[in-house]
Every structure is written in structure tokens, then in C-alpha cells.
Chains A and B, each alone.
Chain A
Amino acid sequence: MLGNSVLTNTRRVLGALFIGLALTGTALAQQPLKIGFGMSLTGPLAGNGKAALIAMEIWRDDVNAKGGILGRKVEFVYYDDQTSPATVPSIYTKLLDVDRVDLVVSGYGTNVIAPAMPIMMQRNLTFMTLFGLNVNSKFNYDRYFQIMPAGPNPAVGWSQGFFDAAMGMSPKPKTIALVGADAEYPAMALEGAREHAKKTGLKIVYDKTYPPNTVDYSPIVRAIQATNPEVVFVASYPPDSAGMVRAANEVGLKTRMFGGGLVGPQFAALKTQLGPLLNGVVNYEFYAPDLGGKFPFLEQFLAKYQARAVVEKVDPLGFYLPPYAYAMMQVLDQAITATKGLDQAKLAEYMHKNTFDTYVGKVGFAKNGEWAAPRVMMTQYHGIVGNDVEQFKKPGRLTVLSPKEYKTGDLKAPYHENKK
């Protein structure tokens, strides 16, 4: 009798345990998949940060409409990093320890990715990042991944197209001026430019940086002009990109080629505000309407993005960051689905070994987490008339100089004679 009651009780306990485990599993499966990040929603790079957030939200809504990832709806937990590196460590600590997110991705830009790296490395997290230039060169973290297509040597890949176009001029230029803001991204970009200058035999006649809150750039441009460089490479953020372009026009800068690494002209605010002042400038872009059908799915994404961007008062074109922010999440989606879980080591291994189909094309990663091959487009603006944004939605306002597979025309030099 006692034996029977013990057996019955044991069966009851085991049954309850089994039901409990089954319910827990179901509950877990129903729990949202929380992805955490900091994003620049205020501060100098907020325009880009907000545009990236919209793209990521479009991805989230698209994925959730199909049932989520591994049956779990995706939820974002994010905080405004104010474009300030100082806020980043505490944001990610909170995301991981308080909000207990399942996965983290980075905010936008070199300045806010670098301060997050020690936390990621300490906790062995796979870290998908958004537009940081050469961040992993100092950390050598094997679970770092970057969606910006700068290539396995980003500092050099970033300006490869610019220097290819420069050295394609006849006669070849002999001198170059390098200038950039005192900040992380320009420092990396200038590092790469110096390497290119050394490789190509260009003599660096001016190599200086300026404080990012500089008001008037004309003394800088005049100092550059005084050294008579044949090529001028600029690495700048949006307000200083506008300042340098305006100063170049005001001073009447005479050089064969000007531009390179200006952040800002890729999005509508500066395109429209600078307008014809951009003509003749050579600069990097990641997408242009001139590319036609080379990115077929991108156009449907851009239609969704542009509809939301107008309402939320951010970059109405969305050619720069948004496609890559969406692609970043597509990579994660595919990796999680393929590895059937959130094991950080398995995710990293999968991402290193496989290529991903995204809206920006096939994405594959090198050993250091950068793109396996660079794909930064170098373009030259021309034919910009007035300040209307609609002209930039159609082909004809820029020439893609490189890479070869996207080239639409040749460089027109010198800069000061091609400002139309």
C-alpha cells in the first residue's frame, strides 16, 4: 500500500515536472527575442542614427509579419547614446544586465562602436556593427562583424577608389593635401589615405586636423591652397563637410581633385543644402539611382523607408545608412535561423563561414569581421542645379567612378573647372 502511494506520488510529481517543463519551453518560445542597442537619436549624428533606426524597425516589422525569428517576435530595446562615446558603456551594461536582451548590435559610427568593444569582448558576445571604420584593428576580436563595405583592410579600402581615380588622371598627380576632423572616423580615414599616398608616391604637402566645432573653414582651405596640392583628401563629418565644401568654393580652391571621405553629402539634408556647390566634388557613396537594377530589392525597401522618413523628419532619400542597417539585421536573422539559437560562438562561426543574401547584395566577412572584399563606391557629383531634393531621386547627378562593376563614367578634372 505504502509502495503504491509512493509510486503514485512519484508519477504525479514527474507528470507535473514534465508539464511544467513543456509550459516553460512554450513560454520561452513565446517570449520576444530582444535585441538591444544604443543609437544616436540626438547629437551631431542623430540624422543618420534616426534613419538607421527606421530601417531597423522596418526590418523588425517585416520579420514579425512572417512570424518572427525561431517563432519569437523581435523586440528592440534601445537608448539614445547622444552621439557621445561616454554614454556607450553604461548603455550596453544596462541592456545586458538590467534589460537582459538576447542579442546586441551596435549604434552608428566609429565613435560609439569602439567604446562598446571591451564589454562585448568581456562577455564573448557576437557583435554586429553599423558603419565603424577599422574599429577591430586594435581589438582583433573574432566575434566582431561590420556591415560597412570597406573591405578587410578598411582604413585603406575606404579611400581606394579615390586614389585609383586620382592616379588615373593624366599626368599623374605628384602632391596631395590631407585634412580631417579631430575625431575617430577621420583619424582612421586619414591613416588609410597616408598609406595610399606612400604606395602611390604622392608627396603629402599638407597633413593637419581641425577641431570638429570649427566655425570658419576658409583659413584651413587657404592654408591648403598655399601648398598647391594637386589632390585634396578630406575626412569630415556633416557640419564640417558643409564647411569645407563652402570654403572651397569661397576661396576658389584650385586643385585637380577634391573630396574623398566627406560624411554628409550622402544624405538629403546636405545634398539639398549645398546643391550646386557639390558639383565636381569626388566622394564616397553607397547607393545611387544611377545604378539602376543592380540592387533589385533595395528599391522596394527604399519606398517603405522614404514613406516613413518624411513623417519622422529624417533623411528623405535613405541612400546611405538605411539599406545597410536593414542588411545588418538580415545577416543576424539568417545566422540565428541557421544556427537555430542564440549561442554566440555558433553565431560567430556561422557568420565567418557563410555569405548572406541581403538587400545590399551578397555579404561575406573576412577573418577580422570586415567585408571580405571592399565595395565603397567613389563618385563625382555633377549637373546639380538648385536645391530641390527630387533631382537626387533620379539618375544623372553623379558619376560612379569605382568599383569597376558599378562604373558609369570617368573622372572630370580639374575640380575647379568642373563645378557645373
Chain B
Amino acid sequence: MEVSGALLANAVIAGLLLGGFYAAMSVGISISFGMLDVVNIAHPGFIILGSYIAYIVNDRFGLDPIVVSVAVSPLFFLLGAVLYRVYYYCFERRGQESLRGLAFFFGILFITEVALVLIFGVDYRMVSSRYGDVTWRLGPVDFPMRLVVPFLVSMVMVIGIQLFLTHTFFGRAVLAVAQDQLALRLMGVNPVRVKELAFAISIASAGVAGSFLIVIQPVQPAIGREFIGLVFAVCVLGGMGSIWGTLLGAFVLGLAESFTSTFFGPSWAPAVSFGLLLATLAFRPAGLLGR
């Protein structure tokens, strides 16, 4: 195959756009797993729940799915807060968060999936949007709006979360609870309350990421399981607890996938992506930007 400048440029753009989507999917895990040590394996389930909420409102009222997801993100925030409270009282407080907590989140994942099957059925769902079938072309380079719009909103969300964590009191409390819960308690801050807030943010981000997913591809209730490995891989590659690391890790995986698909064959893409993950961890066990 002839490697043209156009093909190369398109591979870079496609990789970055894909990476932006992966970042949105993974930023919640970076908070819950990376900072709070909560192995929320149900995170993709909340992404799919977000997809279906975006779908139902889009289908009934014609509203843009991404706008819908941002509007309902406070509900996901509340859901996350409640879920964390249940997790804390049932498992974390008793020191049983590792295996039993994991089983709890597996259960949440399957309950979410089955509930969606019962309510919506098993057919694939997609949304319609004004930009879904629009592609901007800048010379030989394509910018499909189906990926560009989620990318832009994803950047706003991820950067917004990073700024919240570093520039607000509660945000810094979240970073502190990730470092030393006892020290935080000694300073008069309730770490449980802080973790509840952080977990709620992670679930809210999942809800928004769900709208990106259903704009990009058809969704059915079980599709969340396909992203479990990816979201944790991005979090680990980027560095646990680092939002910038998550963003960088997402871009690395997106570009790896795009380049491999374009120049070497798409069936190699997972091997290359996870090979990069292993190689990074071999030389930098804390991840790209982890400490």
C-alpha cells in the first residue's frame, strides 16, 4: 500500500478523535479506580445506561443526545453518590471491598444490562443528530462530525474535571483522599463524603460518555462488557489517578489503533495497543504520568 500524506494525516486525526472518545469513557475509572481504589467494574454499564437515556429522549423528543446527557448528568451524579454510600456501608467500612466489593459491582453491571433488556429489548439502537452524517473535509483530511463533536465535548469534560480537581477545595480534597485518607481525617475533612463526591463525578462522566458512544455506533444492552478491558487499560497506561495521564493514555491507544488499522491491518490493533500497555508498564510501572 502506498503511504500518502493524506492517509497519514487522516490516520492521525482518526486516532486523536478516537482517543478523545476513549478518554471520556475512562476518566470516570481514573477517578474511581485510580484515586479511590474502588474497582467499579460496572462503569461500562453506566455508560450504556447513559446511551439509552440519550436514545430515548432523542427518539421521543428529537433532542440532541449529547445535550440530553449533559442535562441529565446531575441524575447520574446522584446515582453515583447513592451507589457509593451503599458500597461504603456494605463493604468498604467492613474491610470487604476487595472481593465482595468487586462482586457487588459485577452484580450492578448485570442488573443494569438485564434491566435495559427488559425495558428496551435487545435490538441495536442509534440516535439521529444533525451532525451524525456530516463530514467536514479540509483538503484531503476528513473530520466526521460523529466523532468530532464527542471529541470536543470530551475535551471540555476531561479538562473541566482536571481543573475542578486542582483548582477547587473539594477537588483538592479528592486528590488528598487518594494520597492519605487518615491525614485528611486529621484535618477535619470527612474522607467518606469526599469519596462519595468523587465517585458521583465518575458516574456522571459515564453518563455523558454514553451519549458519545451511541452517537458513534449502535448500542445494545450487553455492549458495555466489550469496553471493560479498554477503560481499565487506559487508566493504567496513563497512570493511576492522573487525569492528564488518562488523556494521554487514551490518545496513545487511539493513535495506535488507528495507525495499525490503516497501515498493518485492523486485526493487529488490540495486540499493538495492549503490547504498548505492557511495554509501558515494564519500563514505567506507574504508567505514563503516574507517580
Nearest to A205 among chain B residues (CB) is B1
CB of A46, distance to nearest CB on chain B (Å): 3
With a CB–CB cut-off of 8 A, which chain A residues contact B11?
219, 222
For chain B, give the interface size range. 35 or more
Q: Does A4 contact B (CB under 8 A)?
A: no
Known: A47-B220, A312-B121. A223 touches B263 (CB 8 A): yes
How far is B270's CA from A243's CA once the two chains are assembled, in angstroms?
Answer: 18
B106-145 CB contact bits vs A (8 Å, 1 = yes)? 0000000110010011111110100001010000001010
Within 8 A of A (CB), among B1-16: 1-2, 4, 7, 10-11, 14
Q: Which 7 A-B pairs have the closest CB atoms?
A: A313-B121, A46-B122, A210-B266, A219-B261, A273-B126, A47-B123, A213-B226
In the complex, per-residue mask of A213-242: 1 if CB is within 8 Å of any chain B CB, else 0: 111101110110011000000000011001
A interface vs B, CB < 8 Å? 41-44, 46-47, 49-50, 82-83, 182, 208-211, 213-216, 218-220, 222-223, 226-227, 238-239, 242-243, 246, 249-252, 264, 267, 269-270, 273, 277, 312-315, 387
Per the bound structure, the CA–CA distance linking A216 and B213 in Å amounts to 11
B249 CB to nearest chain A CB (Å): 16
Q: Give Cα A49 to B267, complex, Å.
A: 27
18 pairs of residues in contact across A and B, judged by CB atoms under 8 Å: A42-B114, A46-B123, A208-B265, A208-B266, A209-B265, A211-B269, A213-B226, A216-B14, A219-B14, A223-B7, A239-B217, A239-B220, A239-B223, A242-B218, A243-B217, A249-B135, A312-B121, A314-B122
Find out whether the CB atom of A50 lies under 8 angstroms from the CB atom of B269.
Answer: no
If A223-B1, A226-B4 touch, whether A47 touches B10 (CB-CB below 8 Å) is no
Q: Given A208-B265, A220-B261, A215–B216 Cβ distance below 8 Å? A: yes
With CB as the reference atom, state the residue of chain A lying closest to B213: A215
- Give the CA-CA distance A68 to B135 in the complex, in Å: 57
Selected from B125, B258, B263, the residue in CB contact (under 8 A) with A269 is B125
B21 touches A (CB below 8 Å): yes
Please judge, given known A-B contacts A219-B14, A222-B10, A250-B135, whether A211 and B267 are in contact too, CB under 8 Å: yes
Contact present for B123 and A226 (CB under 8 Å): no
Q: How far is the CA of A46 from the CA of B219 in the complex (A)?
A: 12
Q: CB within 8 A of B267: which of A210, A249, A252?
A: A210
Contact status A46-B222, CB under 8 Å: yes
B interface residues (Cβ-Cβ under 8 A, vs A) = 1-2, 4, 7, 10-11, 14, 17-18, 21, 113-114, 117, 120-126, 128, 133, 135, 142, 144, 146-147, 216-218, 220-223, 226-227, 257-259, 261-263, 265-267, 269-270
| Residues B261 and A251 in contact, CB atoms below 8 Å apart | no
Q: How far is the CA of A242 from the CA of B146 in the complex (A)?
A: 13
Write out the residue numbers on chain A whose beta carbons fall within 8 Å of the beta carbon of B144: 218, 250
Residues of B contacting A209 in the complex (Cβ-Cβ under 8 angstroms): 265-267
Indicate the member of A41, A83, A250 with the most B CB atoms within 10 Å.
A250
Contact for A313 among B18, B123, B142, CB less than 8 A: B123
Q: Which residues of A contact B261 (CB under 8 A)?
A: 210, 214, 219-220, 223
Known A46-B220, A222-B10, A250-B135: A214·B122 in contact at CB below 8 Å: no
**Nearest CB in chain B: distance from A239 CB, A:** 5
Q: How far is the CA of A246 from the CA of B266 in the complex (A)?
A: 17
Residues of B within 8 A of A41 (CB): 122
